[in-house]
Amino acid sequence: MTSCSFSLHGIGVSGGIAIGKTRLVSHATLDVSQYSIAPEHVSAEQNRLDKAIIDVRRELQVLRQEMAATELADDIDAFIDVQETLLNDVSLTEDTKAYIAEHGCNAEWALVQKMDAWIALFGQIEDEYLRDRKFDVMQVVERIVKQLMGKAVDSLPETSSDPHTILIAHDLSPADLLQFKHRRFAAFVTDLGGATSHTAIVARSLGVPALVGMRMARQIVHEGETVIVDGDQNCIIVNPSRVVLAQYRALYQKQKARREALMSLVRRRSKTRDDVDISLTVNIEIPDDLSLALKVGAQGIGLFRTEFLYLNQKTLPDEHTQFLAYRRVVRGIKGKPVILRTLDLGYDKINAQVDMLARVMPNPALGLRAIRLCFAEPELFTIQLRAILRASAYGKLKIMIPMLSSVSEIEQTFDAINAVKKTLAEENIAFDRDIEIGAMIEVPAAALAITPFLKNFSFLSIGTNDLIQYMLAIDRADEAVAQLYDPVHPAMLKLLAHVIKSANRAKVPISMCGEMAGNPEMTRLLLGLGLRHFSMPASTLLAVKERVINTDISALKKLADRILRCTQPTKIQALIAEINSL
The binding site for ligand PEP (CB under 6 A) comprises 201, 303, 305, 344, 442, 463-466, 513-514
Nearer to ligand PEP among residue 76 and residue 517 (C-beta): 517
- Calculate helix-pair angle for 242-263, 538-549, nearest 10 degrees: 70
Task: Write phi, then psi, for 62 (nearest 5 degrees).
Answer: -60, -45
Catalytic residue, from 198, 374, 533, 566: name it.
Answer: 198
| Type of residue numbered 31 | D
Pair 537, 514: CB distance under 8 Å: no
Nearer to ligand PEP among residue 205 and residue 312 (C-beta): 205
Torsion (CA) 568, 551, 196, 258 in degrees, nearest 10: 120
Which of ligand PEP, Mg ion, none does 305 bind, CB closer than 5 to 8 A by kind? Answer: ligand PEP
Closest approach, Cβ 305 to ligand PEP, in A, equals 5
CB atoms within 10 A of CB 165: 20
Closest approach, Cβ 467 to Mg ion, in A, equals 8
Closest approach, Cβ 462 to ligand PEP, in A, equals 7
Closest approach, Cβ 311 to Mg ion, in A, equals 16
Nearer to Mg ion among residue 368 and residue 559 (C-beta): 368
Closest approach, Cβ 530 to Mg ion, in A, equals 22
Nearest residue to the partner Mg ion, using Cβ: 466
Closest approach, Cβ 461 to ligand PEP, in A, equals 8
Strands 210-212 and 11-14: antiparallel
Pair 440, 461: CB distance under 8 Å: yes
198 is catalytic: yes
The 3-state secondary structure of 143-161 reads HHHHHHCCCCCCCCCCCCC
Single out the residue of 116, 87, 102 nearest to residue 29, CA to CA: 116
Interacting residues with Mg ion (CB under 5 A): 442, 463, 466
Single out the residue of 346, 570, 561, 380 nearest to residue 466, CA to CA: 346
Nearer to ligand PEP among residue 280 and residue 424 (C-beta): 280
Closest approach, Cβ 465 to Mg ion, in A, equals 5
d(CA 446, CA 556): 27
Nearer to ligand PEP among residue 283 and residue 353 (C-beta): 283
Closest approach, Cβ 321 to Mg ion, in A, equals 24
Single out the residue of 290, 384, 362 nearest to residue 332, CA to CA: 290
Decide: residue 462, CB within 10 A, 0-12 exposed, 13-18 middle, 19+ buried. buried
d(CA 164, CA 151): 19
Which of Mg ion, ligand PEP, none does 514 bind, CB closer than 5 to 8 A by kind? Answer: ligand PEP
Buried b (16+ CB within 10 A) or exposed e, 94-107: ebbbebbbeebbbb
Single out the residue of 552, 575, 551 nearest to residue 564, CA to CA: 575
Closest approach, Cβ 465 to ligand PEP, in A, equals 3
Q: Which helix (DSSP H) or strand (DSSP E) does residue 303 occupy?
A: strand 301-305
Which of ligand PEP, Mg ion, none does 37 bind, CB closer than 5 to 8 A by kind? Answer: none
Q: Which helix (DSSP H) or strand (DSSP E) does residue 556 occupy?
A: none
The number of residues making up the chain comes to: 582
Nearer to Mg ion among residue 18 and residue 536 (C-beta): 536
513 is catalytic: yes
Pair 526, 580: CB distance under 8 Å: no
Nearer to ligand PEP among residue 141 and residue 192 (C-beta): 192
Nearer to Mg ion among residue 463 and residue 528 (C-beta): 463
Which of Mg ion, ligand PEP, none does 16 bind, CB closer than 5 to 8 A by kind? Answer: none
Nearer to Mg ion among residue 187 and residue 526 (C-beta): 526
| Torsional sign, CA 145, 150, 154, 155 | negative
Q: Facing residues of 535 across strands? A: 281
Which of Mg ion, ligand PEP, none does 537 bind, CB closer than 5 to 8 A by kind? Answer: none
Which of Mg ion, ligand PEP, none does 108 bind, CB closer than 5 to 8 A by kind? Answer: none
Which of Mg ion, ligand PEP, none does 513 bind, CB closer than 5 to 8 A by kind? Answer: ligand PEP
At 206, is the secondary structure helix, strand, or coil? coil
Residues 6+ apart with CB under 8 A from 85: none
d(CA 448, CA 405): 10
Catalytic residue, from 105, 374, 513, 566: name it.
Answer: 513
Residues marked as catalytic: 198, 513
